[in-house]
Amino acid sequence: MDLEEYRRRARSWLTANAEETRAEGSPDADGVAAEKAFMAKLYDAGYSGISWPAEWGGQGLSQAEERVFAEEARDFTLPTYVFSIGLGMCGPTLVDLGTPEQKARHVRPLLRGEEIWCQLFSEPGAGSDVAALQTRATRTEDGWVVSGQKVWTSVAQHASFGLLLTRTDVDVPKHKGLSMFIVDMRAPGVTVRPLKDMTGRAHFNEIFFDNVHIPSENLIGQVNDGWSCAVTTLLHERLSISGGVGMSGQRENPVAFEALRHTVDTGDPLVRDRLVELYIRSRALALFNQRLAQETKAGIFPGARGSAAKLLLAELSMFQADLATSLAGPQAVAYEEDGRLAASLALAPALSLGGGTNEIMRNIIGDRVLNLPPEPRVDKTVPFKDLKTGTRQ
C-alpha cells in the first residue's frame, strides 16, 4: 500500500473512531475502561505499534507509515493517556533489552491496551540523582525480595506492571549496584497512593514495596547492570515526552495552543506575531523529534540529544504559559467552558521537572554534547554504603 492510500485509510478510521476532544489527565475507572477499548480498536485496525517489530506483536511497518498516522492524528486527541508510559518508555525498553520470553509475554498486550505500565525510578531522596535510590532487592532461592518507596509515578494506580529500578549491591559505587526488574503492580506487598497536583487531578502516585517477591525471570538485562538499562529507558522517556509519543494528544503544539487561539483577539497583528512565534517554536521541536526518531529506527543512538529535545519542550511549555497569561490576562486561569487553557497553565511547570529537571538536562548537554568539563563527582568511586545521600544518614 502506498503512503497516500495509507493516509486516506488512517484519516477515515480516525474520523469514524476517534474523539476530537476529551478531558486531559488521569481518567477514572470508567475512563480507563474506555481507553482500553479504544486501544484494542486501534491495535486491531493496525495503528498501534506501527513501526514496532512484527515478531513481538507490532505492525512491522516503517517510520514513514508511523509519521503519516501521526500527521493525520493531529486533528484528534486520542484517548490513550494511561498507556503513555508503556508506549513511550517501558515498551521500547522491553523491545531493546527484554528476553524473548519477556517480549512474547508483554509487548502485544501492551500495544493492544490489555495491560497498563508504569515506570518506577524516582524516590523521595533520589529524584534528579536517580542513581542514589535506596529501594533494595535481595536475592532469594527463587528470585528477589524488594522493599522501599517510589514517588511521582504516573498512572501507577491503573498499572498492571512496572519497570522497577532497585539497588542490588551496596558495596560498589552507586551507578554499579543497580538492577532493573519487571514488577507485578498487583503483587502482595505493593501499595499505591495517588497524589493530587495543583490541577486537582492525581497524575502521580507514591508506591511502597513491603517484601515484594519478584521471580528471577523478571530481571531486565544483567544483575548490577541496571544503570545502562535505565539510560535506555530515560532516552526513550525524554524522546517520548518531547515528541508526544504515545501520549494522549498528537498535535504538534501543546494542547493550550488551540485554546489560546479561541481566547485572545487573533485579529490583532501583534497577537498574531506572538502566536506565529509559538507555532514556529513548536514546529521546530516537532522536526527535531522526527529526526531523532528516524535516527533511532536506523540504529543511530541519539544519546544526549534526547535531553536537548526534552529541554526544548519544557522551555516551550513555559514560553506558552507566559504568552497565554500576557495575552489573555486573568481569563487565562479561569476555568470556563472546558478549562483546557487553565489546566495547561497549571501543568506547565511540571515539564521542567518530570523526566529530569532543566538544570540536569543542561548539565547532560554541556557534558555529552558540547564536551564541556563535567562537574566534580566526589562520589564516583565511593561504595554506596559509605555515602550520605538522599534520606540516608
Distance, CA of 189 to CA of 239 (rounded, Å): 33
What percent helix, strand, coil does the chain show, rounded to 5?
A: 50, 15, 35
141 is annotated as an active-site residue: no
Which residue, 119, 4, 19, is CA-closest to 65? Answer: 4
Q: Are 189 and 209 in contact (CB under 8 A)?
A: yes
Angle of helix 29-44 relative to helix 3-17, nearest 10 degrees?
Answer: 150
What does the DSSP 8-state code read for residue 374? P
Alpha-helical (H) ranges within the chain are: 3-17, 29-44, 63-73, 84-85, 91-97, 100-111, 226-243, 256-261, 269-297, 305-328, 340-347, 358-368
- CA of 349: how far to CAs of 114, 159, 176, 344, 361, in Å? 32, 25, 32, 10, 15
In which region does residue 249 sit, left (phi positive, over 0), alpha (psi from -120 to 50) or beta (all else)?
beta
> How many residues are recorded in the chain?
393
Rounded to 5 degrees, what angle do the CA atoms 107, 295, 314 make? 85
Q: Any idea which residue has 529535545 for its cell?
A: 309
In which region does residue 289 sit, left (phi positive, over 0), alpha (psi from -120 to 50) or beta (all else)?
alpha
Task: Specify the pairing of strand 161-167 against strand 117-120.
Answer: parallel
> Per the residue annotation, which of 24, 123, 206, 237 is the catalytic one?
237
Q: Any idea which residue has 528471577 for its cell?
A: 216
Where in the sequence numbering do the catalytic residues fall?
Answer: 237
